[in-house]
Amino acid sequence: MFSLARLTCFIAVAEELHFGRAAERLHMTQPPLSRQIQQLESELGVQLIDRSSRSVALTAAGAAFLPDARRIVSLAESAALTVRRVPAGDLGTVAVGFTGASAHAVLPRLLEAARERIPDVKLVLREMVTSQQIEALTNGELDLGLIRPILPRPGISTRPIHHERLIAALPQQHPLASEEHLTVEDFDDQPVVMYSPVDARYFHELLISTFTIVGASPRYVQYVTQVHTMLVLVRSGLGMALVPASAETMKPEGVTFRQVTAVRDRPVQMNAAWRSDNSNPALHRMMKDVLPQREWI
């Protein structure tokens, strides 16, 4: 296979149509340039340049080859420039996992900040629950997870990026819907849609502790995994629920949201998580320049 250097030689001769000037442009002497062309021709098995001692011209084959030669060389040059931008995290791909709820709470702002600060980093987005994200982070399918708090895990680093209030979601016709503010005590002995203790463990435990602190005992009528499922059930009149404040941005019809005076102000936490040994420069750039604050918003 011919080398890129030979292509550069050919391009110079084809453009100058003069071996002497082409050699000068390439910072070499004429004789090795002549040989480079001869060797390129012999490698291709095709005469590219007609040189009759007093004139230099491209053959039909040379004219056909020139654009290809230019394309190959310029592609090589731009590939070299491109790859150099990767280690700085300027350019690359970050696979981001997110939970259904985080799609409303943090994803829009994350995407906007990324587009502004690292526009040439491509984000591949995949919706998964927290446990799936941990699995995907571990086996390298994800670079970054947007997850609920988990127990510390070796090899996985996390950082809180967002926390928000819990608010009450009630069926529009619910008696308490006329109140301006609710309290956690209002949930006592009420039908309530609850989070699954297995697949939405974080929310489940958060609500259990919230109710326990004030001694409220709701009647759990259903267990669900995702916030949007919960809103569907609330709308159908099954009961009331506690959801992250960002759920209000979903604007579900037939569901009324109310502030809840609670013990802790903004207990619902969202974390960023990544594999501690992840070497993707774009991920580190993102943690540094896109999620720089300890609490992001």
Catalog residues that contact DNA under the rule CB under 7 A: 3, 5-6, 18-20, 27-32, 34-39, 51-54, 56
- Residue 122's alpha-carbon distances to 61, 92, 132, 135, 271, in angstroms, are 41, 6, 22, 22, 21
Give the one residue of 17, 24, 87, 229 binding a second copy; rule: CB under 8 A: 87
Enclosing H/E stretch for 272 = strand 268-275
Question: Residue 37 binds what, of DNA, a second copy, none (CB under 5 to 8 Å, by partner type)?
Answer: DNA
CB of 14 to a second copy, least distance (A): 13
Instruction: Provide the CB-side half-sphere exposure for 167 (13 A, CA).
Output: 20
Query: Nearer to a second copy by C-beta: 4 or 208?
Result: 4
Residues 6+ apart with CB under 8 A from 228: 100, 247, 250, 252
Helices vs strands, H then E, count in the chain: 10, 13
Q: Does 288 bind a second copy (CB under 8 A)?
A: no
CB of 88 to DNA, least distance (A): 23
Structure tokens belonging to residue 29: 């002497």
Query: Nearer to a second copy by C-beta: 90 or 248?
Result: 90
Residues 6+ apart with CB under 8 A from 198: none
Q: Does 189 bind a second copy (CB under 8 A)?
A: no
| Span of 46-54, 178-186, 232-240, 241-249 interacting with a second copy by CB under 8 A | 46-54
Query: Nearer to DNA by C-beta: 37 or 233?
Result: 37
Structure tokens belonging to residue 124: 């591949």
Q: Does 12 bind a second copy (CB under 8 A)?
A: no
C-alpha R_g of the chain: 32
- Residue 4's alpha-carbon distances to 11, 70, 71, 217, in angstroms, are 10, 10, 11, 76
- Say how far apart CA 166 and CA 169 lie, in whole Å: 10
Query: Nearer to a second copy by C-beta: 68 or 205?
Result: 68
Taking CB under 8 A as the criterion, which residues in 92-131 touch a second copy? 92-93
Show the binding pattern over residues 247-286: x = contacts a second copy (CB under 8 A), - = does not: --------------------------------xxxx----
User: Rounded to a whole number, what is the distance in angstroms from the first to the last CA of the chain?
Assistant: 56
| Span of 58-66, 101-109, 162-170, 257-265 interacting with a second copy by CB under 8 A | 58-66
CB of 36 to DNA, least distance (A): 5
Question: Residue 29 binds what, of DNA, a second copy, none (CB under 5 to 8 Å, by partner type)?
Answer: DNA
| Nearest residue to 205 (alpha-carbon basis) of 193, 195, 214 | 195
Q: What are phi and psi of 257, to 5 degrees?
A: -105, 140
CB of 109 to a second copy, least distance (A): 25
Residues in touch with a second copy (CB under 8 A): 1-5, 8, 43-48, 50, 59-61, 64-65, 68-69, 71-72, 75-80, 82-84, 86-87, 91-93, 279-282
